[in-house]
Amino acid sequence: MGGLGQVNGLVIDGADTHALAAFWSAILGTTIDSEEDDGHYVDLVPIDGFPILRFQRVAESKSVKNRLHLDIEVDDVAVAIETVRTLGGSVAQPPKVEYGWAFAILADPEGNEFCAIHRSEP
């Protein structure tokens, strides 16, 4: 193994790990894999080529913009927005196009931001 080590998981903090895991499993088309310490940590079933998505219970709420976020490539940004809203998420910034990509900045039920992106037509 080169470098310091390997990525074991990508961790998203939140107060309700079960609700976050349910939201993200629906977004990514996977299921909950495991739970430790009465829901302090909840992992999703790994998706090929992607680290484990893990949810960690924390006491504090999100207070500033994420410094790391996921870009979820979708077929249609407008449909993605409606799906996120139906699942309890929200729109942090409305859709726009930059650098050849249409995207919207969305948020999960606890405010953790991510982008729905789609390659825009030339």
Tell me which long-range contacts 72-77 makes (C-beta under 8 A, separation of at least 24): 72/27, 72/28, 72/114, 72/115, 72/116, 72/117, 73/117, 73/118, 74/116, 74/117, 74/118, 75/118, 76/118, 77/102, 77/103, 77/104, 77/116, 77/117, 77/118
What's the pLDDT tens digit per position in 72-121?
A: 999 999 999 999 999 999 999 999 999 999 999 999 999 999 999 999 87
Same domain, 33 and 69: no
Q: Tell me which residue has tokens 């999100």.
A: 62
User: Average pLDDT, whole number, for the chain?
Assistant: 93
Residue 57 and residue 68 in one domain: no
- Assign 63 a pLDDT band (cuts: 50, 70, 90): confident
User: pTM of this prediction?
Assistant: 0.90
On the 0-12 / 13-18 / 19+ scale of CB atoms within 10 A, 28 is middle
Domain CATH number, residue 81: 3.10.180.10
Same structural domain, 24 and 52: yes
| Final residue in a domain of this structure, among 61, 85, 113 | 61
Closest Cα to residue 72, out of 37, 114, 31, 41? 114
Q: How many domains does the chain have?
A: 2
47 with 69, same domain: the answer is no
Q: Which residue has the higher pLDDT, 39 or 19?
A: 19
Mean pLDDT of all residues in 52-80: 93
With cut-offs at 50, 70 and 90, classify the pLDDT of residue 61.
confident
Looking at the structure, do residues 57 and 67 belong to the same domain, yes or no?
Answer: no
User: Which residues make Cβ contacts (< 8 Å) with residue 94, sequence separation at least 6?
Assistant: 104
